[in-house]
A and B are shown apart, each in its own frame.
Chain A
Amino acid sequence: MKNVWIIARKELRTYFTAPIAYVVIIVFSVIIGFFFWSILMWFNNQSMQMAQNQYYYSQININQMVYQPLFNNMSLILLFMLPGLTMRLFSEEKKIGTEELLFTSPISVWQILFGKFVAALFVLLGMLGLTAILSVFAFLYGNPEVVPILIGYFGLFLIGAAFIAIGIFFSSLTKNQTIAAELTFGALLFFWVINWASNFAEGFWKDVLNYLSFFQHFNNMTLGILDTIDVIYYLSFVILGLFLTHWVIQSRWRR
């Protein structure tokens, strides 16, 4: 555990002095701030129109009309930004030769791997945490439900963790950071849209394709529905990503 923290601290140091973390957190906040503002303006307009009709008035729901599209947008922006965060984690060690220091030290591959994963999770928390400030305005001027918002953020954290694990895996495959980022981005996008193919499949395969999609599982959480199967889905990506990375590092040694 101590070793994991030593590695995590070193990665966080690089993230914040490089200063990758500040750029990622600020760009993310600005974009999400803009989304929040524009969705809120639209909601404002919409509410005024709906308020004129008794039935529609009862349908006004800030969680559904503001937070659901906001969470969907946030997850997509994470997909764009997280590959940039994970691309250097292993490829850089390989490129500058520091892997030789790490792998000849009394510290296990798992500890190195977890340390890097935890560091990226901290930056993810920073990205999500800063956007939470926006919700202050929603609570000041509106009356949203807290639990669905927390579930939405939990979902974002899970999906981000899955993206990071996949990104770390691709980072372990190459010395080149750009290649690592592009491969991650491609893979994430592919799993995002894989359910489109379900329109042309039937039975079992239709279910499989739907199950595999990042989007399908996240949709529930944006609505404040927490289902174990969705949590398991993201955790299995995390575990798969980390195991594959461990395997790549071990087999790279065995060459």
Chain B
Amino acid sequence: MIAIEHVTKRYGDLTAVRDLSFKVDKGKIWGLLGPNAAGKTTTMRILTGFLPATEGKSSIGNFDVFEQPNEAKKILGYLPEILPLYPDMTVTEYLNFVAAIKKVPAVKRREAVGKAVKITGLESVKGRLIENISRGFKQRVGIAQALVHDPLVLILDEPTIGLDPAQIIEIRSLIKSLRGEHTIILSTHILPEVTQTCDGVVIINEGRLMASGSLEDLTSSIQRKEGVIVNVRKDGPEAAAEIKKITGVDKVGVADGELKVEWNLGLDLRDDIVHLLVEKRFGLLEMRPMAMNIEDLYLKIISGGGDQ
């Protein structure tokens, strides 16, 4: 439903997005996850056809956003990072205008606006000027304008930014309630947003694709390995070399004086490792299980140590 193929975007010498490809199936919610300045907004702008890609192409439904922009844009709802609101309009006037330029027929406009107002909880402010409503309501107006023409595809750039915790929960459950009818991609730099609302995730950093897939796939691929983190008093590298000799050990890494030992799922080598370290008197200080989840993966990726 949403696809981006080998997209590269350069601004002069700066490459914002490099050879990025991913796709989102119909009815799914995917997260575009990455730290600030990872290229999320640029990717979304290319997807919506607001910015052209230097190379590659993107499509919404079966329409290429640059070859058939009108068809693609008709089924697209987009919440940009900067809310595209006219401060001198009332909420209802604004949504009516958006519905009109999104080609909602005049006779259905009132109903469409009413529906968008209802699901985003804007009833109490619908007659007020947008400049006079709070940040949280403005964000909801932004979501309402993306929804007003009942598009098949929703692209939401940082939908919960600037909201208080209660509002964040509300907006997340609103997005979840749209699953099925709409295909949604949302960008965020907050991991829980993805784990709580999305079916799949695309992780990017510095414009590159670092990982992508459904949450289950990613989690299970990470959990093919198990491991421990070991702290020894002396001779770290030598201890690492010794541990590596244990049958079943897949990988031993040394970082910050800690040894990261990994083995394939199904084994349990903790006894062997302890035995070895005690016998050879390396001075075992600590041994703790290595947490292997998406959070670790994400941290690993954005801290630059991603060898995933």
Interface residues of A (CB under 8 A from B): 3, 6-7, 10, 13-14, 17-18, 96-108, 253-255
Task: Please tell me if the beta carbons of B52 and A104 are within 8 angstroms of each other in the complex.
Answer: no
Contacts of B52 in A (CB 8 A): 253-254
Task: Please tell me if the beta carbons of A106 and B103 are within 8 angstroms of each other in the complex.
Answer: yes
Contacts of A17 in B (CB 8 A): 88
| Bound form: Cα–Cα A140–B101 in Å | 48
Task: Please tell me if the beta carbons of A96 and B78 are within 8 angstroms of each other in the complex.
Answer: no
Assuming the contacts A96-B85, A254-B52, A255-B11, asked whether A6 and B101 have C-beta atoms less than 8 A apart, the reply is yes
| Bound form: Cα–Cα A148–B157 in Å | 58
Interface of A is mostly: helix
Looking at the complex, which one of A100, A101, A255 makes contact with B98 (CB distance below 8 Å)? Answer: A101
Contacts of A99 in B (CB 8 A): 84
Among B52, B74, B88, B101, chain A packs the most CB atoms within 10 A around the CB of B101
Task: Please tell me if the beta carbons of A106 and B102 are within 8 angstroms of each other in the complex.
Answer: yes
CB distance from A114 to the nearest CB of B (A): 14
CB distance from A122 to the nearest CB of B (A): 17
CB distance from B175 to the nearest CB of A (A): 19
Task: Please tell me if the beta carbons of A6 and B100 are within 8 angstroms of each other in the complex.
Answer: yes
What are 25 inter-chain pairs, A to B, with CB distance below 8 A?
A: A3-B101, A14-B88, A18-B88, A96-B84, A96-B85, A97-B82, A100-B45, A100-B78, A100-B82, A101-B78, A101-B80, A101-B84, A101-B98, A101-B101, A102-B84, A103-B50, A104-B50, A104-B76, A104-B78, A105-B101, A105-B102, A106-B71, A106-B74, A106-B101, A107-B101
Q: Mark B128-170, 1 if CB is under 8 A from A, else 0.
A: 0000000000000000010000000000000000000000000
CB distance from B229 to the nearest CB of A (A): 46
Task: Please tell me if the beta carbons of A97 and B80 are within 8 angstroms of each other in the complex.
Answer: yes
CB distance from A15 to the nearest CB of B (A): 10
CB distance from B100 to the nearest CB of A (A): 5
Contacts of B71 in A (CB 8 A): 106
Q: Mark B93-136, 1 if CB is under 8 A from A, else 0.
A: 10001101111000000000000000000000000000000000
Task: Please tell me if the beta carbons of A253 and B51 are within 8 angstroms of each other in the complex.
Answer: yes
Whether B302 is near chain A, meaning CB under 8 Å from some CB there, is no
In the complex, besides A97-B82, A101-B101, 10 extra interface pairs with C-beta distance below 8 angstroms are A10-B97, A14-B86, A14-B88, A17-B88, A96-B86, A100-B50, A100-B78, A100-B80, A105-B102, A106-B103
Which residue of B has the minimal Cβ distance to A18? B88
In B63-87, the 8 Å CB interface with A consists of 69-71, 73-74, 76, 78, 80, 82-87
The 9 nearest A-B residue pairs measured at CB: A97-B82, A101-B84, A100-B80, A106-B73, A98-B84, A105-B101, A104-B48, A106-B74, A6-B100
Task: Please tell me if the beta carbons of B82 and A253 are within 8 angstroms of each other in the complex.
Answer: no
Whether B39 is near chain A, meaning CB under 8 Å from some CB there, is no
Contacts of B50 in A (CB 8 A): 100, 103-104, 253
Whether B34 is near chain A, meaning CB under 8 Å from some CB there, is no
CB distance from B50 to the nearest CB of A (A): 5
Whether B49 is near chain A, meaning CB under 8 Å from some CB there, is yes
Task: Please tell me if the beta carbons of B73 and A96 are within 8 angstroms of each other in the complex.
Answer: no
| Bound form: Cα–Cα A10–B85 in Å | 13
Contacts of A3 in B (CB 8 A): 101
| Bound form: Cα–Cα A255–B11 in Å | 7
| Bound form: Cα–Cα A253–B51 in Å | 6
Assuming the contacts A96-B86, A98-B86, A255-B11, asked whether A104 and B49 have C-beta atoms less than 8 A apart, the reply is yes
| Bound form: Cα–Cα A69–B273 in Å | 102
Contacts of B88 in A (CB 8 A): 14, 17-18
Contacts of A103 in B (CB 8 A): 49-50
Task: Please tell me if the beta carbons of A97 and B97 are within 8 angstroms of each other in the complex.
Answer: no
| Bound form: Cα–Cα A26–B114 in Å | 38
Assuming the contacts A6-B97, A6-B100, asked whether A100 and B84 have C-beta atoms less than 8 A apart, the reply is yes
Which residue of B has the minimal Cβ distance to A5? B100
| Bound form: Cα–Cα A106–B86 in Å | 19
Contacts of B69 in A (CB 8 A): 106
| Bound form: Cα–Cα A212–B245 in Å | 88
Contacts of A253 in B (CB 8 A): 50-52
Task: Please tell me if the beta carbons of B101 and A102 are within 8 angstroms of each other in the complex.
Answer: yes
Contacts of B84 in A (CB 8 A): 96-102
CB distance from B90 to the nearest CB of A (A): 10
Contacts of B98 in A (CB 8 A): 101, 105
Among A101, A106, A254, chain B packs the most CB atoms within 10 A around the CB of A101
Q: Mark B43-66, 1 if CB is under 8 A from A, else 0.
A: 001001111100000000000000
Task: Please tell me if the beta carbons of B73 and A104 are within 8 angstroms of each other in the complex.
Answer: yes
Assuming the contacts A96-B85, A96-B87, asked whether A101 and B100 have C-beta atoms less than 8 A apart, the reply is no
Contacts of A97 in B (CB 8 A): 80, 82-84
Contacts of A254 in B (CB 8 A): 52
CB distance from B146 to the nearest CB of A (A): 9
CB distance from A92 to the nearest CB of B (A): 9
| Bound form: Cα–Cα A13–B83 in Å | 20
Contacts of A10 in B (CB 8 A): 86, 97
Contacts of A108 in B (CB 8 A): 70
Contacts of B145 in A (CB 8 A): 101
Which residue of B has the minimal Cβ distance to A255? B11
CB distance from B36 to the nearest CB of A (A): 18
